[in-house]
């Protein structure tokens, strides 16, 4: 296992300098376009304006903070060790080990910690320790001035969907949707291959490797090929952002969604919300990740599957739809670069999502 990991890392470092240069070049070009955004750039133009933060180099620092649920120092150790083995320095925020009931500290403590990490130029990426609930309670009180000038990677999923979409919608900066510190295997040597692969995918994304994922073909998939900026996250969280300053913008984009612990009726209602808020009609593609469905109560059988629910909402549209994509509250949850252009290819034999440009 260790060897596999080492080889992969080596491969990554080989490509890194070129990627880093490209990212820097992109930042420079789009940086000049930003002031004009409000006047002319909308919808499909928007994708041109997403900035990729600089990819990480050996010796760079990753900050770890708890903007939502609490985590203990003990729980976070495996993640620290693995990320250090990638050649990064780890800086733990004040919220690590803090607890205010379900939260990783009070709103004030969580806000201050994340703010420090956003503002500190030494920190090149911020990994959220875990999800749970809480980002929504602090997002409007964060000051993004320094982040806008010097974007850095914000990493996480589930509740962190709030930060992803807030950042995309307001600052057009790319982020990484991935597992967090609480999903690193306790013992790397005993971990299953899928755990290793998904954790390595975070390293790949951070170091600038081009990403490519494939999903097991599902007979319900809608075939087609398209290109667009990837956005998405936890479906319930996306619904609660509707109408707010952090609302997801899906025009001309590839949207991915996942959720856990919801009844089918609730999933149905959330997909109606996507449809009725106009978020499906101009999509380039829909990627459906894991949905851990809460079983219907006896006598209250919903009578439709997840596939039925989704296909009904997209039946008027032509874009490709892929089910069983490896993203969600599950082991096969790979790092996705959000705000970055991808190609979605869905055929009878395969379904792939490939980073382009």
Partner 1 sequence: MKIKIPPYLQKGDTIGIVAPAGFMPIEKIQTCIETLDSWGYNILPGATTHSNSQNYFSGTDEERLSDLQQMLDDRSVKAILCARGGYGISRIIDRINFKKFIKHPKWIIGFSDITVLHAHIFTNYKIASLHAPMAAAFNDGEFNNPYILSLKDALEGKPAHYECAPHPFNKLGEAKGELVGGNLSLLAHLIGTDSEIKTRNKILFLEDVGEYLYNVDRLLLQLKRSGKFNKLAALIIGGFTDSKDTERPFGKSVYDIIYEQLAGYKYPICFGFPVSHEKENFALKIGVKYKLSITENGSVLQEI
CA-CA-CA-CA dihedral for 334, 336, 342, 347, to nearest 10: 20
Q: Decide whether 45 or 140 has the Cβ nearer to partner 1.
A: 140
| Minimum CB distance to partner 1, residue 308 (Å) | 12
CA distances from 30 to 26, 46, 48, 208, 346 (A): 6, 11, 7, 18, 31
Enclosing H/E stretch for 291: strand 285-294
| Minimum CB distance to partner 1, residue 141 (Å) | 12
Q: Decide whether 264 or 336 has the Cβ nearer to partner 1.
A: 264
| Minimum CB distance to partner 1, residue 9 (Å) | 35
- Is-contact 302 264, C-beta < 8 A? yes
CA 109 vs. chain centroid, Å, equals: 24
Q: Decide whether 246 or 332 has the Cβ nearer to partner 1.
A: 246
Q: Decide whether 35 or 243 has the Cβ nearer to partner 1.
A: 243
- Is-contact 351 220, C-beta < 8 A? no
Enclosing H/E stretch for 314: helix 306-314
| Minimum CB distance to partner 1, residue 100 (Å) | 7
| Minimum CB distance to partner 1, residue 86 (Å) | 30
- Is-contact 71 96, C-beta < 8 A? yes
- Is-contact 69 89, C-beta < 8 A? no
| Minimum CB distance to partner 1, residue 218 (Å) | 24
| Minimum CB distance to partner 1, residue 245 (Å) | 7
Closest CA to 74 of 148, 129, 2: 129
Please tell me what DSSP assigns to residue 326: S
Q: Decide whether 35 or 299 has the Cβ nearer to partner 1.
A: 299
| Distance, CA of 235 to CA of 257 (rounded, Å) | 5
Largest CA distance in the chain: 60
Q: Decide whether 109 or 324 has the Cβ nearer to partner 1.
A: 109
Q: Decide whether 13 or 265 has the Cβ nearer to partner 1.
A: 265
Q: Which residues bind partner 1 (CB under 8 A)?
A: 69-70, 100-102, 132-133, 136-137, 140, 239-247, 265-266, 268-269, 272-273, 276-278, 296, 300-303
> Which residues face 234 on adjacent strands?
258
């Amino acid at each position: 296992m260790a060897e596999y990991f080492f080889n992969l890392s080596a491969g990554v470092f080989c490509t890194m300098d070129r990627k880093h240069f490209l990212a820097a070049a992109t930042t420079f070009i789009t940086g000049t376009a930003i002031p004009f955004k409000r006047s002319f750039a909308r919808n499909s133009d928007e994708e041109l304006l997403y900035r990729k933060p600089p990819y990480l180099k050996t010796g760079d620092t990753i900050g770890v903070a708890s903007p939502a649920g609490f985590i203990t120092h003990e729980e976070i150790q495996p993640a620290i060790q693995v990320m250090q083995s990638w050649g990064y320095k780890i800086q733990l925020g004040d919220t690590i080990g803090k607890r205010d009931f379900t939260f990783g500290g009070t709103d004030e403590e969580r806000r201050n910690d994340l703010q420090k990490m956003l503002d500190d130029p030494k920190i090149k990426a911020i990994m959220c320790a875990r999800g749970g609930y809480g980002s929504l309670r602090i997002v409007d009180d964060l000051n993004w001035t320094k982040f806008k000038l010097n974007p850095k990677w914000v990493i996480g999923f589930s509740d962190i969907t709030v930060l992803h979409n807030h950042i995309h919608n307001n600052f057009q900066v790319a982020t990484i949707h991935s597992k967090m510190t609480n999903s690193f295997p306790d013992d790397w040597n005993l971990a299953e291959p899928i755990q290793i692969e998904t954790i390595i995918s975070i390293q790949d994304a951070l170091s600038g490797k081009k990403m490519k994922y494939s999903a097991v073909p599902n007979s319900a998939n809608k075939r087609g090929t398209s290109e667009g900026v990837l956005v998405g996250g936890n479906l319930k969280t996306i619904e609660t952002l509707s109408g707010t300053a952090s609302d997801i913008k899906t025009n001309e984009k590839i949207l991915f969604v996942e959720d856990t612990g919801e009844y089918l009726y609730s999933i149905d209602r959330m997909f109606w919300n996507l449809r009725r808020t106009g978020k499906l009609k101009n999509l380039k593609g829909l990627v459906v990740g894991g949905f851990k469905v809460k079983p219907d109560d006896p006598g209250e059988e919903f009578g439709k599957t997840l596939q039925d629910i989704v296909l009904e909402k997209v039946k008027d549209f032509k874009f490709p739809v892929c089910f069983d994509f490896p993203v969600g509250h599950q082991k096969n949850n790979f790092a996705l670069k959000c705000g970055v252009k991808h190609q979605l290819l869905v055929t009878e034999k395969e379904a792939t999502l490939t980073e382009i440009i």
